[in-house]
Structure 1
Amino acid sequence: MKFQNIEFDKALSPFVKSIMVFESNETDTKTNLPFFADGFPGLMYHETPNGLYVNPHRKRMPQLFIYGQTIEPIEIEIFGSYQMIVFQLYPFTLNTLFKIDPKSINDNCYDLSLEITQVQNNISSALSLDNNPYSRVKLLSSYIEKLIEAKKNNFDNAIFSAINKILAAKGKCSLVETAKEVHLTKRTFERRFLSETGLLPKQFAKIIQFQNSLTQLSVKDFASLTDVVYENGFADQSHFIRVFKSFTGKTPKQFITK
């Protein structure tokens, strides 16, 4: 598999976190890619002659779709060659740009072909005509830039600020203090955060903590499991194991020795 992290224009910020391209020309190989909770929804376009399926649901995915927050562990399965382009989006993007209720597509997706507009039809046609990944990234970037230009004043500045504070603290922050810093009561903060992201602030912070621990385990940047536990703000080892297993289906030890 060939993987690329694509640089993108600042005009896409703060809505796009990253752009990734996954490719393979192997025609007789089955590819399984695990995906775990990371706090970020996304937009995906894929060209897969034999289809792209999400397990354990065994659901065949549309060619161009928005996916919501991944909470339960999933696995993408592809047989044969493929090209996947993924725009990782900041959590408030679904509501602000696409007018999708984020909570409605947690662990689910929204088929963009359902958007019967001239712009959508033009993009779908252009994507199918040009198989160069860089051209496709440019087309999708242009599509998102137009949405940003039309709707950039619609996003919730307080929740945008709160998300950045939680990310900067790697999930290890007082959410009561975060609410105060963005001048919201605890109840209003939770309601607006859920509306914008599909998650409660506590859920989002826990996912960010988990993701940082997952990265640490993946690159083996630790001397002992206890280091990972306390560096990522978990109360104790049993708490860490419980959270980790809820998001991956495996204990940390099983994940390390896989």
Structure 2
Amino acid sequence: MNYQTFQPDSDLASLVKCYWTLEVPAEYPSEKQRIVPDGCIEMAFILGDDIKRFVSETDFIRQPRAMVLGQTVEPFYIQPMGYVHTFAVRFYPYGFANLVTTPISRLANKETPIVELFGQPTADELEQKITHATTTQQRIEIVERFLLTRLGETDTIDAIVKNTVDLLFVTRGSASIQAILQGDLSKRRQLERKFRKQIGMSPKQLGKVIRLQTALKMVLGKTNGTLTQIAYESAYYDQNHFIKDFKEFTGTTPKEILQDDTLILSSLFYAKD
């Protein structure tokens, strides 16, 4: 597997976390891979063979070749159908809402073809340019021109939403709603409504995903320390709380994850994030 990440231009650095590419030869064993939530929204272009996304144990759909992957709150499975070559934009949780008028909550837990978000002519032109480009740098330049154009056409993200997301990242997901609102809980419903529209999940859900990310990186990085220590450093109340959330978002336990072949791809993403 060849997974690489690239940093965005400074004009987009507050919205785009990174660009990434993944290439896997067709002869590589085509196992189901479990993808775990990371709190980010991605716009991805499949440049190789199709990829299945399972909707049940046996049923699947083929992922759109140009799509936006919305927020997820539970793991899902994909399986390559041959040669893997993907180019993608990974947005911060509040980043993608700056580019579309569609409420982000409508994108949650599914893949949305970019044509549904940007219209046929615009989507077709972008996909063709990305597909026909011959280098990653060319694709980055193409998508950055597109993103900067879109920014000039849509509203700016709500400041309280951005500040809340930033605080959740700084506190590893442990900031309480009361702390975020500085004790003014009368604004709670308003914040949660804006969050679902612009982020695609509630502040509490995003906080859980961010906290899990911290712990997952420690586990996958084989950090020395007991599960209790990892739980404490990841801002969990106790080990039981840690294991419960871990299983909810990954589908397995911290002890089992290192031997789980279906998490090879997620491990790769987390290792370089």
Q: TM-score normalized by structure 2?
A: 0.86
2:196 to 194, 197, 202: 194
Distance 1:68 1:81 in 2: 24
Q: What is residue 143 of structure 2 aligned with on the other side?
A: 140
1:156 and 2:143 aligned: no
Per-residue CA shift, 1:119-171, capped at 9, x if unaligned?
333222222322423222221222112112322x4310111111111111111
Q: Secondary structure at 2:193's aligned position in 1?
A: helix
| Structure 2 counterparts to residues 69-80 of structure 1, below 5 A | 69-80=71-82
Q: Secondary structure at 1:30's aligned position in 2?
A: coil
1:118 and 2:121 aligned: yes
Q: Is the 8 A contact 2:178 2:184 kept in 1?
A: no
Structure 1 position 189, deviation (Å): 1.9
1:244 and 2:246 aligned: yes
Q: What is residue 221 of structure 2 aligned with on the other side?
A: 219
1:107 to 106, 109, 114: 109
2:130 to 127, 131, 140: 127
Choose between structure 1 and 2 for higher RCO, CA contacts under 8 A separated by at least 6 residues. Answer: 2
Q: How many residues end up aligned between the 2 structures?
A: 256
Q: Is the 8 A contact 1:26 1:81 kept in 2?
A: yes
Letter in 2 for 1:19: Y
Structure 1 position 117, deviation (Å): 4.4
Per-residue CA shift, 1:6-50, capped at 9, x if unaligned?
12201112211111110134356425443211111110011123x
1:67 and 2:66 aligned: no
Q: What is residue 52 of structure 1 aligned with on the other side?
A: 51
Decide which moves more: 90-99 or 165-174: 90-99
Structure 1 position 242, deviation (Å): 1.0
Overall identity of the aligned pairs, in %: 21
Q: Is the 8 A contact 2:46 2:86 kept in 1?
A: yes
Q: What is residue 257 of structure 2 aligned with on the other side?
A: 255
Runs of 4 or more consecutive aligned structure 1 residues displaced over 4 Å after TM superposition: 181-184
Distance 1:102 1:231 in 2: 31
1:13 and 2:8 aligned: no
Decide which moves more: 106-115 or 23-32: 23-32
Q: Secondary structure at 1:38's aligned position in 2?
A: coil
Letter in 2 for 1:53: K
Q: Secondary structure at 1:110's aligned position in 2?
A: strand
Q: Is the 8 A contact 1:95 1:196 kept in 2?
A: yes
Letter in 2 for 1:249: G
Q: What is residue 4 of structure 2 aligned with on the other side?
A: 4
Residues 137 and 76 (structure 1), Cα distance of their counterparts in 2 relative to 1, 3 Å cut: farther
Letter in 2 for 1:112: I
Gaps of 5+ in 1: none
- Compute the RMSD of aligned alpha carbons: 2.2
